[in-house]
A and B are shown apart, each in its own frame.
Chain A
């Protein structure tokens, strides 16, 4: 339990997808003009992360990893026919992860279109683009290094998503305030946003090196 809490807090604040790894920047910068749409996209990313990280965990541990396919032998495929404990599909990890993510995003898109057409139009192109949101593939690619259990990977996905959510909503609030500012012409739009994100990352540095009192 303590370990789960540790992973959860860590993935939100310390290993924040935006401010620590700068992942998922494209949609982060593009859909942070208004708080309402930012909340929509943030929830979508959180949801997709919560679902795809455990799915990818399954894919990794039962298909991709070296010897992960041993369960085929156990099911009854004879070892003479194929010894799966020696099969290593790590090379396919990118393709498999992205396929899982893309399939899942497609499902989410259909669900959002059905359930909330207003949000669907507000998010526009960025909903399908979640499929190539780096933070989602990134979270999956961090998995091999982390040796999580299934439950932990779900908590990690949720935490990473909430961290992204927090970052995008905070940036949207700042940008709504900035819309009244007299920013020098060459910097208007993306330029000032990049600088704002940099300064926000400054503030988020306060969490780097944090030693949590629980877990390890």
Chain B
């Protein structure tokens, strides 16, 4: 630690005004404040300051994502070996998944952070680490076999069009990670949907055990077939799917962490779950085909629901900001997710579109919540 501090102090003059490398000032500043909590103090007036700044906040979310990431790596190996009819140890499974997903994570972080640094340099802003979370969310919600250049394109699109041109971190309208995923989903549907993309190596079709199908529950339901796995499997997550989102349990652990640290909004998570449950129960009551009768609780376990509701819907920038707005926002996400899943055969997964759609309407929800508050208080004044 001391050594790091000393090195930084020694390098600092080079980056300050007049120094040789002063044009890289924001990069240096970003690195320094990343490693050490800055001790800046305000000069005028009194402010209440907390040690937790944007970097610390973002890092908490990354920590919350760790269980899902590690499990996802193991599951990738597990599914691969299952498909090939081989048995492998826990470690082998993990190692396989680790090597498979590491390049995706590296590309996503490399491209994203590189662009972010570039924009900060151009604008002369300090670097803010909004991308720390998106950079991990993007690989976690993509299929394991996705070509790296697609990851790079999607990340670049999400960072530039989705975020930087709106003024950077904290100003984006849509969640950047979801923007990346939907961009890929629409631009390259072949790599992003179907039964073959969710398990590594399934596309090549070499050496696959007879009868093994990589179909996800969502994929089956979309063509009117029953779910073939138990709810327990779906909850634990040893099923084919995107890297980080198969296990509802691991997402739940991350979610509890986010709630305890006060970073994720429990209102949004709870209302999303309630919305989906409510809509699912209404459809159950109507009945008719497989999807209508699909137990409402299972909607919470399959696909990316848990992942989306916990990590993406709660994005503090693109979500609704007001207390009551959060409830409305979350509930509508839940309802829309189930509606899109059940009624839109073109898109088996509903949660990503539901969140994007509500991101678009979140400012409107906020506007009306604020307005109704003003009206209520005005009427109190008049009375």
Contacts and interface: CB of A to CB of B under 8 A. Distances in A.
Interface of A: 35, 169-170, 173-174, 176-178, 180-184, 187, 192, 195-196, 199-200, 202-213
Contacts of B186: 202, 205
A181 B166 CA distance: 6
Contacts of B366: 173
A177 B179 CA distance: 19
B165 A212 contact: no
Contact of B174 (A170, A192, A203): A203
A96 to B, nearest CB: 37
25 contacts: A35-B367, A170-B361, A173-B361, A174-B363, A176-B367, A177-B363, A178-B171, A181-B171, A182-B123, A182-B171, A183-B165, A184-B165, A192-B166, A199-B161, A202-B182, A202-B183, A203-B353, A203-B356, A203-B357, A203-B360, A204-B360, A206-B336, A211-B343, A211-B344, A211-B345
Contacts of A184: 165
B340 interface: yes
B99 interface: no
B258 to A, nearest CB: 24
B244 interface: no
A206 B174 contact: no
Contacts of B361: 170, 173
B167 A181 contact: yes
B350 interface: yes
A208 B345 CA distance: 10
Interface residues of B, number: 33
B357 A208 contact: no
In the A-B complex, the 9 residue pairs with the smallest Cβ-Cβ separation, listed nearest first, are A209-B346, A206-B353, A181-B167, A173-B363, A182-B167, A173-B364, A203-B356, A181-B171, A203-B357
A185 to B, nearest CB: 11
A170 B360 contact: yes
B352 to A, nearest CB: 9
Contact of A209 (B173, B182, B345): B345
Given A173-B364, A183-B165, A203-B359, A196 B182 contact: no
B157 to A, nearest CB: 10
Nearest to B356: A203
Counting chain A CB atoms within 10 Å of each CB, the highest count among B161, B343, B345 belongs to B343
A181 B344 CA distance: 35
B347 interface: yes
A141 to B, nearest CB: 26
A35 B370 CA distance: 13
Given A195-B161, A202-B179, 8 more contacts: A170-B360, A170-B363, A199-B161, A205-B186, A206-B336, A206-B347, A209-B347, A211-B345
A178 B166 contact: yes
Contacts of B182: 202-203, 205
Counting chain A CB atoms within 10 Å of each CB, the highest count among B123, B186, B359, B361 belongs to B361
B168 interface: yes
B112 interface: no
B168 to A, nearest CB: 7
B162 interface: yes
A86 to B, nearest CB: 44
Contacts of A209: 344-347
Nearest to B363: A173
A212 B343 contact: yes
Given A169-B364, A199-B179, A203-B174, A213 B343 contact: yes
B257 to A, nearest CB: 29
Contacts of B165: 183-184, 187, 192, 195
A40 to B, nearest CB: 15
A210 B354 CA distance: 13
A47 to B, nearest CB: 21
Contacts of A169: 364
Counting chain A CB atoms within 10 Å of each CB, the highest count among B182, B359, B363 belongs to B363
Nearest to B344: A210
A206 to B, nearest CB: 3
Contact of A207 (B173, B344, B364, B367): B344
Contacts of B343: 210-213
A157 to B, nearest CB: 23
